[in-house]
Amino acid sequence: MIGRRLRPSKIWKYFLLSAAPMVIPCVLAAQRGRAEVHEGNRLYEEGRFEDAHERYLEALRENPTSPLIRFNEGNALYQTEEFQRAFDAYRQAVETGDESLKAAAWYNLGNALFRQQQLQESAEAYKEALRLNPGDGDAKHNLELALQQMQQQRQQQQKKNEIDDPTTLPSLKQVMDEAAAAAAAAGAAASSATPSPPSPSGRTRHQEKTEFAAVAAAASDW
């Protein structure tokens, strides 16, 4: 889980024509601003996101109710790190109710929220994307990442609260009492230990080793 990165936003390049050809006004309405959108897409692919955004705005003036143009506007704003404005554009795309791009709009909306560290809200957006498209591996990945970071934040906040709250820290008396108890226990253990048997010289092994070290040190001076 460590080192995982947010997967990028989804791009929707072209107009989706109505599935019912008989609804001619909807089809014609979808064509308004088409040239501006294609130009915006070209600029977007070249990495000229601010210029692409200007083309999408021109397309919106031609066709202000298009969820697709609003969606692409959000992508251009996201790439220039204007995450709140990108969020607003994705939200408007979602609110149109266009089922053809609703899942992608929820996913991108989640990314815009994630970049603003609104992790709870981003997780809910990814869940919506997965509800609409259960096979979206990117949404699943980013949902797991958001939940992971939320857990890390909770743990960090808990540690901070423990440090800031003096009632959670041991008092000096408690520390001294615990140290005294540990010292007493160590002394009792030492006094109950079996002494080393004496060597033939009448000295303990520890004494012999100490004296040998002293004799060796004296000999080295000669």
pLDDT of 60 strictly over 70: yes
Phi, psi torsion values for 15, nearest 5 degrees: -65, 145
pLDDT of 140 strictly over 60: yes
How far apart, in Å, are the Cα atoms of 24 and each of 14, 17, 65, 97? 18, 10, 16, 19
What is the overall mean pLDDT for the chain?
Answer: 77
- Whether residue 60 is contained in a domain is answered as yes
- Whether residue 15 is contained in a domain is answered as no
How far apart, in Å, are the Cα atoms of 175 and each of 46, 149, 169, 171, 185? 65, 35, 10, 6, 15
Q: How many other CB atoms are found less than 10 A from the CB of residue 75?
A: 26
- What is the token pair recorded at 209? 């080793």
pLDDT of residue 171: 67
For 180-196, how does the pLDDT look when each residue is reduced to its tens digit (9 = 90+)?
787 777 777 666 655 55
Q: Do 17 and 27 form a contact (C-beta atoms < 8 A)?
A: yes
**Global pTM value:** 0.64
CA-based end-to-end distance of the chain: 66
* 209: Cβ contacts below 8 Å, ≥ 6 apart: none
The total domain count for the chain is: 1
Q: What angle do CA 42, 46, 51 make, to 5 degrees?
A: 70
Please enumerate, as own/partner, the contacts of 201-204 that have beta carbons within 8 Å and a separation of 24 or more. none
Q: 51-65, 119-133, 157-171: lowest mean pLDDT where?
A: 157-171
What's the domain range around 115?
24-162
For 75-101, how does the pLDDT look when each residue is reduced to its tens digit (9 = 90+)?
999 999 999 999 999 999 999 988 989
- Whether residue 115 is contained in a domain is answered as yes
- What is the token pair recorded at 47? 């990495």
Q: What is the CATH number of the domain that holds 61?
A: 1.25.40.10
pLDDT of residue 189: 66
- Whether residue 176 is contained in a domain is answered as no
